[in-house]
């Protein structure tokens, strides 16, 4: 039987529910049309893609293909041949990124594992050199070399893309940088700052100074204090940290919007903020802390308005353009929010 496999087309992943934001960002900031593909993925028209990752982009599959595949059906040989064809034309180190799409294929994680096992087994038969070129994805991505096979499923088919690791817009499969909760952390916000450290490629070091704006109940402050940093936690609400590292945290009941260093104080190592404030006020914080060089590293969470986040984000995006070392992205653990992060002035 001849299998239907689509021609290659670009697909972008995003947080399920944020598809229209990503589409609007592509359209208004880059003049690129797109359409929804499955929940958490949009199909980009044409082959011109923005070079830098977009705010709402979790991952990109530059040359994605779709092969229809019913549940329980084994992967047809023709699909396997297509999957490995690009690799076979130029054998080199490769790695696998699997990411189940819960919204597009509920409970599909084990199905995806099964499909991947079959793809690899049949690939090894087609190309006996394949196993010796397989690498761990983290290692390969660190070198920026080799190829990544990205695979996921919707209810009625397999979505895959083989391409250079350099094309990825996040090092995590599907852009899902899943962090582990620490039972001592007083809030799930802890996961956001831990993810920001991974995305920054930089962990806080012992004795670094930190200002945490909107700190309560203390997940972010805890993440720094447990690493030996000196934290100034600003919030009128109570901290709920039940761990010895709390002695490294000074809690100030102050307004984070007006809190500033005095004129003689050197820049702090970290300015972080997670206050429930509108994007315009977050922009004001960026201008003070970054624009006036009062910090070396910054992680600032920006809460999105209920409707239409792009108009609120555009001034910030424009202002950040001269700072290529800073990124503004919707992290995996962000909900209705995005995060500005980067190391500057160091």
Ligand X SMILES: C[S@@+](CC[C@H](N)C(=O)[O-])C[C@H]1O[C@@H](n2cnc3c(N)ncnc32)[C@H](O)[C@@H]1O
Q: Give the footprint of ligand X on this chain (CB under 6 A).
A: 187, 189-190, 214-220, 234-237, 255-257, 274-277
Q: Which is nearer to ligand X, 12 or 220 (CB)?
A: 220
Q: Which is nearer to ligand X, 146 or 186 (CB)?
A: 186
The helix (H) or strand (E) run that includes residue 86 is helix 77-89
Minimum distance from CB of 312 to ligand X (Å)?
17
CA dihedral sign, ordered 260, 262, 267, 269: negative
Minimum distance from CB of 219 to ligand X (Å)?
3
Asked if residue 215 lies in contact with residue 239, where contact means CB atoms within 8 angstroms, the answer is yes
Express the helix, strand and coil content of the chain in percent, nearest 5 each. Answer: 30, 25, 45
Minimum distance from CB of 193 to ligand X (Å)?
7
Whole-angstrom distance, CA of residue 200 vs CA of residue 55:
15
Q: Which is nearer to ligand X, 11 or 241 (CB)?
A: 241
Q: Which is nearer to ligand X, 120 or 302 (CB)?
A: 302
Minimum distance from CB of 274 to ligand X (Å)?
3
Half-sphere exposure of 131 (CA within 13 A, CB side): 7
Asked if residue 56 lies in contact with residue 175, where contact means CB atoms within 8 angstroms, the answer is no
Whole-angstrom distance, CA of residue 64 vs CA of residue 61:
5
With H, G, I as helix, E, B as strand and everything else as coil, classify residue 282: helix
Q: Which is nearer to ligand X, 22 or 275 (CB)?
A: 275
Asked if residue 252 lies in contact with residue 211, where contact means CB atoms within 8 angstroms, the answer is no
Asked if residue 201 lies in contact with residue 247, where contact means CB atoms within 8 angstroms, the answer is no
Check if 303 is active-site: yes
Whole-angstrom distance, CA of residue 238 vs CA of residue 54:
36
> Would you name the residues annotated as active-site residues?
303
């Amino acid at each position: 039987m001849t299998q239907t496999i689509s021609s290659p087309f670009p697909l972008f992943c995003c947080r399920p529910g944020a598809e229209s934001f990503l589409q609007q960002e592509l359209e208004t900031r880059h003049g690129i049309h797109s359409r929804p593909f499955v929940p958490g993925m949009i199909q980009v028209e044409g082959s011109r893609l923005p070079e830098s990752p977009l705010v709402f982009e979790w991952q990109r599959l530059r040359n994605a293909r779709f092969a229809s595949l019913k549940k329980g059906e084994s992967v047809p040989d023709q699909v396997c041949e297509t999957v490995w064809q690009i690799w076979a034309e130029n054998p080199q180190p490769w790695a696998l990124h699997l990411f189940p799409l819960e919204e597009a294929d509920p409970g599909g994680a084990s199905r995806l594992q099964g499909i991947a096992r079959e793809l690899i087994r049949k690939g090894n038969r087609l190309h006996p050199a394949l196993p010796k070129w397989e690498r761990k994805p983290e290692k390969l991505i660190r070198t920026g070399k080799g190829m990544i096979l990205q695979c996921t499923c919707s209810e009625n088919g397999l979505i895959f893309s083989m391409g250079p690791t350099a094309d990825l817009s996040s090092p995590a499969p599907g852009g899902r940088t899943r962090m582990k909760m620490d039972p001592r952390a007083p809030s799930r916000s802890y996961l956001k700052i831990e993810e920001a450290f991974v995305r920054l490629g930089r962990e806080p070091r012992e004795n670094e100074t930190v200002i945490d704006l909107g700190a309560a109940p203390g997940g972010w402050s805890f993440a720094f204090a447990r690493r030996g940093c000196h934290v100034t936690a600003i919030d009128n609400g109570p901290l709920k940290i039940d761990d010895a590292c709390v002695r490294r945290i000074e809690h100030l009941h102050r307004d984070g919007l007006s809190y500033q260093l005095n004129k003689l104080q050197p820049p702090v190592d970290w300015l972080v903020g997670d206050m429930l404030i509108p994007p315009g006020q977050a922009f004001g914080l960026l201008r003070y802390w970054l624009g006036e060089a009062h910090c070396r590293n910054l992680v600032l969470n920006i809460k999105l308005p209920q409707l239409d986040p792009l108009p609120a984000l555009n001034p910030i995006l424009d202002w950040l353009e001269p700072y290529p070392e800073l990124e503004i992205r919707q992290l995996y653990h962000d909900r209705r929010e995005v995060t500005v992060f980067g190391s500057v002035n160091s």
